[in-house]
C-alpha cells in the first residue's frame, strides 16, 4: 500500500503554505537538519569573505616588519605571518579567491560535464567513444592530474580553474549520463516523440530538468573538492601567485614556520575544513531529499 503517496494526497497538500505547496522538495530541504546546518556554516563564511572590506582589521598586503610571526593576540586575532601581515585579514580576503575558484570550477565543470553527459547518454553512438575518453581522464588520480595540468599551464587563477575543470568534469559527465540513461527510457519521452518533438526539445524540456537531482548534489561536492584542490595546488606552488592571498597559499607560506608559528597555516586550514564540512552537509541534505525514496509496495 502506497501510504507515502496517500499522505501526500490532495487534502494534506492544501494544508501547507503556498510556496512549499508548489515545491514539496523545498519544504523538505528546509526541515533537514544537516542541510540547514551546512547552509548556515557556508553562509557565515561567505558573508565574512564578501564583507572583508568592512570587517578585515588590516589590509592583507600590508607588511609590518615589527610584528613578524606574532602569536594571536588582541590586535591580531589570528596572529601575523612572516611578513608581519595580519593572518585574519589575509584569511578573509583569501576566502574570496578560494571561493571564487570553487565557484568557477563548479560552473565550468557542470557546464562541460552536462554537455558531455547528455550527449553520451542520449545519443547511443556517442556513448562509447565519449565515455572512454572520460574514463581515460579519470584514470589519473584527481589531484595529480590537476597538479600536472596546473604546472603546464602556469600559476594563475584562470589556469587553476581550467586544470580543476578538466579534472572534475568527467565525474560530472558520468553522473549526468547515468541520469539521462534512466530518463531516456521513460514513457513521457516517447509521448513527446509521438507528438513530434525533436531531440533538442526533448533534451531541454524533459531530459535535463529530470536529471538535475544527482547533478545538484554533485555540484556541491565539486565545490568542496575544488577548494581543497586549490589548497593542494598552492602548497605545491602551482596555485594562484602571490601576493594575492588564497587559503591554499597562506598555508603554503606558513609551511616553514609550523614549529614556531603554527597559526599561519592552522587558521586557514581550519577555515577550509569548516567550509568543506558545511558544503558537504548541504550536499548530504540535498541528496537525501532529491534521491527517490523507498516506497512501500504498490497495490
Q: How far is the CB of 9 from other proteins (least distance, A)?
A: 4
Q: How far is the CB of 188 from other proteins (least distance, A)?
A: 4
Choose between 90 and 206: whose C-beta lies nearer to other proteins.
Answer: 206
Binding mask 146-185 for other proteins (x = CB under 8 A): ----------------------------------------
The values of phi and psi at residue 298, to 5°, are: -65, -100
124: contact with other proteins by CB under 8 A: no
Burial 19-37 (b: 16+ CB within 10 A, else e): eeeeeeeebbbeebebbee
Binding mask 192-231 for other proteins (x = CB under 8 A): xxxxxx---x---xx--xx---------------------
Q: What is the DSSP letter of 260?
A: T
Q: How far is the CB of 205 from other proteins (least distance, A)?
A: 8
Q: Give residue for cell 596572529.
A: 79
**Under DSSP, is residue 80 helix (H, G, I), strand (E, B) or coil?**
strand
Residue 205, Cβ neighbours under 10 Å: how many? Answer: 12
135: contact with other proteins by CB under 8 A: no
# chain residues binding other proteins, by CB under 8 A:
32
Q: What is the DSSP letter of 86?
A: B
| Among 65, 33, 226, 82, CA closest to 146 | 226
Interface segment toward other proteins; rule CB under 8 A; list 70-78, 104-112, 189-197, 273-281: 189-197
12: contact with other proteins by CB under 8 A: yes
CA distance 143 to 150: 10
Residues binding other proteins (CB under 8 A): 1-3, 5-13, 186-188, 190-197, 201, 205-206, 209-210, 296-299
Amino acid at each position: 500500500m502506497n501510504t507515502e503517496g496517500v499522505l501526500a494526497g490532495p487534502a494534506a497538500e492544501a494544508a501547507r503554505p503556498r510556496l512549499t505547496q508548489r515545491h514539496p522538495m523545498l519544504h523538505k530541504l528546509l526541515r533537514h537538519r544537516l542541510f540547514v546546518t551546512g547552509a548556515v556554516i557556508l553562509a557565515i563564511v561567505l558573508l565574512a569573505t564578501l564583507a572583508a572590506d568592512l570587517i578585515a582589521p588590516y589590509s592583507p598586503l600590508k607588511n609590518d616588519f615589527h610584528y613578524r610571526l606574532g602569536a594571536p593576540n588582541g590586535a591580531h586575532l589570528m596572529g601575523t605571518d612572516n611578513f608581519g601581515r595580519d593572518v585574519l585579514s589575509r584569511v578573509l580576503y583569501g576566502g574570496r579567491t578560494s571561493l571564487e575558484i570553487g565557484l568557477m570550477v563548479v560552473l565550468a565543470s557542470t557546464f562541460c560535464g552536462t554537455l558531455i553527459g547528455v550527449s553520451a547518454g542520449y545519443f547511443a553512438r556517442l556513448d562509447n567513444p565519449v565515455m572512454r575518453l572520460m574514463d581515460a581522464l579519470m584514470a589519473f588520480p584527481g589531484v595529480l592530474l590537476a597538479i600536472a595540468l596546473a604546472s603546464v599551464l602556469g600559476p594563475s587563477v584562470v589556469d587553476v580553474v581550467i586544470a580543476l575543470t578538466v579534472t572534475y568534469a568527467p565525474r560530472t559527465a558520468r553522473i549526468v549520463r547515468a541520469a539521462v540513461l534512466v530518463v531516456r527510457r521513460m514513457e513521457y519521452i516517447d509521448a513527446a516523440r509521438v507528438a513530434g518533438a525533436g531531440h533538442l526539445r526533448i533534451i531541454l524540456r524533459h531530459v535535463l530538468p529530470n536529471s538535475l537531482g544527482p547533478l545538484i548534489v554533485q555540484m556541491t561536492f565539486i565545490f568542496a573538492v575544488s577548494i581543497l584542490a586549490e589548497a593542494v595546488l598552492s602548497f605545491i606552488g602551482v596555485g594562484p601567485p602571490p601576493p594575492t592571498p588564497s587559503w591554499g597559499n597562506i598555508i603554503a607560506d606558513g609551511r616553514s614556520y609550523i614549529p614556531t608559528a603554527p597559526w599561519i597555516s592552522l587558521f586557514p586550514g581550519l577555515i577550509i575544513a569548516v567550509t568543506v564540512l558545511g558544503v558537504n552537509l548541504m550536499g548530504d541534505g540535498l541528496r537525501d531529499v532529491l534521491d527517490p525514496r523507498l516506497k512501500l509496495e504498490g497495490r
